[in-house]
Structure 1
Amino acid sequence: MQETKPLYGLVLSGGQSSRMGQDKSLISYHGQPQRSHLYQLLQGVCIQVFLSVRAGQEQEIPSELAVIKDELEVRGPLNGILSAMQQHPVAAWLVIACDMPLVAFETLQTLVAARDDRRTATAYALQGSDLPEPLLAIWEPSSYAPALAFVQTDKTCPRKFLLNADTKLIHPAQDEELYNANHPHEYAYILQKLSHGTTVQ
């Protein structure tokens, strides 16, 4: 029987946020920057938590947030995920993107409880869908070598990688837990929703 690998958390916050027009990781949906909010949520289910940042961004991060800098010549979130795996190869990684404002602590608890460490990853998918959400998923250490080989063929889409990997899918109680806010109108929608009593713990 294999030993379950320790679970670390990774908040992906190194994107350029060009569609939003402001840094998505700094938007305050819950009384603090979103990157800090998600960092604290992950601390409740992970042994260690890190903020994934692009090169040059680490100087602007508060000292209380541990960071892992992108180290690969790869576009997109796989750079952050693989860079984290390189630094801590024994750990599994609960990865979450900073543009998911309706993820609750219960969302993370459900994912951790459903984790199958014999698989490449355990990922959320929308109800009725078989498309994994790679940026709300647990990536096992075994995913590192095939993911690295994947990007070395000039492929960068983490969803395509998980689609062709041994990925366990789970579904949220409500699809809006997986909502991505990438544009100003989506940001406005979330603010309106939260102001009408949607609570995220």
Structure 2
Amino acid sequence: MGEDKGLVDYHGLPQREYLYQLLKGLCDDVFLSVQEKQLDEVPSGLKTILDQDKFKGPFNGILSAYEAHKDVAWLVLACDLPFMNSEALQHLIELRNPKKDATAFFNQEMGQPEPLACIWETNGLEKALKFLEDSNNRSPKIFLMNTDIELVKPKDEQVLFNANLPSDHDFVKKKLAE
């Protein structure tokens, strides 16, 4: 994208703030996962969890959150999902299966679970730590594909559109203006 995807404006404010507000209506508590260099940029009033830099890639934020609060499940949501909405998240929450390791949206286009639009259970996060200890693989998606999860088909597949390129930004802005 060429810039911090959390700062991209699709809805009249930075995406991370939009998603934070969206989650506040659905979750008991909400935190932004941030790197130390991003801490000064976070608006006051938004709670943060500092990435511990113990793990590579997306697992870093997921497991930093888990280590900060080990007694709760985590609804993890990436900041680069500009079409995500409260209806989709409510659907995921309603179909949550706390007896599984996680409840994840199923990305039909990719044929895989989406680890960054997912409710991670505490037992699943414990297994993820073990997975990282025992494997050279650092992919939360691969972990989910090899553990006991609940898959949820979103009512609107577009909510899983991942905006990574400047052309994606233009596509999203045009689509949201329709």
Normalising by the residue count of structure 1, what TM-score does the alignment of the two structures yield? 0.84
Question: In structure 1, what is the Cα distance between the partners aligned to 2:92 and 2:146?
Answer: 20
Contact kept? 1:121, 1:168, Cα under 8 Å: yes
Contact kept? 1:127, 1:172, Cα under 8 Å: no
2:177 aligns with 195
Correspondence 1:65 to 2:63: no
Correspondence 1:100 to 2:81: yes
2:3 aligns with 22
Question: In structure 1, what is the Cα distance between the partners aligned to 2:33 and 2:147?
Answer: 23
Paired residue for 2:125, among 128, 144, 167? 144
Contact kept? 2:81, 2:162, Cα under 8 Å: yes
Higher helix share: 2
Structure 1 residues 134 and 98, CA gap change in structure 2 (3 angstroms): same
SS of match in other structure, 1:169: strand
Specify every segment of 5 or more residues in structure 2 that has no aligned partner in the other structure, as ranges: none
Moved over 3 A (4+): 127-130
| Identity percentage of aligned residues | 45
Question: In structure 2, what is the Cα distance between the partners aligned to 1:115 and 1:95?
Answer: 13
2:27 aligns with 46
**By how many angstroms is 1:41 displaced?**
0.7
Question: In structure 1, what is the Cα distance between the partners aligned to 2:126 and 2:97?
Answer: 18
Structure 1 residues 154 and 73, CA gap change in structure 2 (3 angstroms): farther
Question: In structure 2, what is the Cα distance between the partners aligned to 1:23 and 1:128?
Answer: 25
Question: Which amino acid in 2 is paired with 1:38?
Answer: L
Question: Which amino acid in 2 is paired with 1:112?
Answer: I
Paired residue for 2:162, among 173, 176, 180? 180
Map 1:99-178 to 2 at 5 A. Answer: 99-127=80-108, 130-152=111-133, 153-178=135-160
Question: In structure 2, what is the Cα distance between the partners aligned to 1:54 and 1:138?
Answer: 22
**By how many angstroms is 1:128 displaced?**
7.5
Question: In structure 1, what is the Cα distance between the partners aligned to 2:21 and 2:77?
Answer: 12
| Residues 131-158 of structure 1: per-residue CA shift (max 9 Å, x gap) | 1000000000111221112223332111
**By how many angstroms is 1:102 displaced?**
0.1
**By how many angstroms is 1:29 displaced?**
0.5
**By how many angstroms is 1:130 displaced?**
4.5
1:55 aligns with 36
Paired residue for 2:18, among 29, 32, 37? 37
| Residues 120-179 of structure 1: per-residue CA shift (max 9 Å, x gap) | 000001348651000000000111221112223332111001001111001111211110
Question: In structure 1, what is the Cα distance between the partners aligned to 2:131 and 2:123?
Answer: 13
Structure 1 vs Structure 2 CA RMSD: 1.3
Contact kept? 2:101, 2:125, Cα under 8 Å: no
Question: In structure 2, what is the Cα distance between the partners aligned to 1:144 and 1:111?
Answer: 18
Specify every segment of 5 or more residues in structure 1 that has no aligned partner in the other structure, as ranges: 1-19, 197-201
Question: In structure 2, what is the Cα distance between the partners aligned to 1:129 and 1:24?
Answer: 21
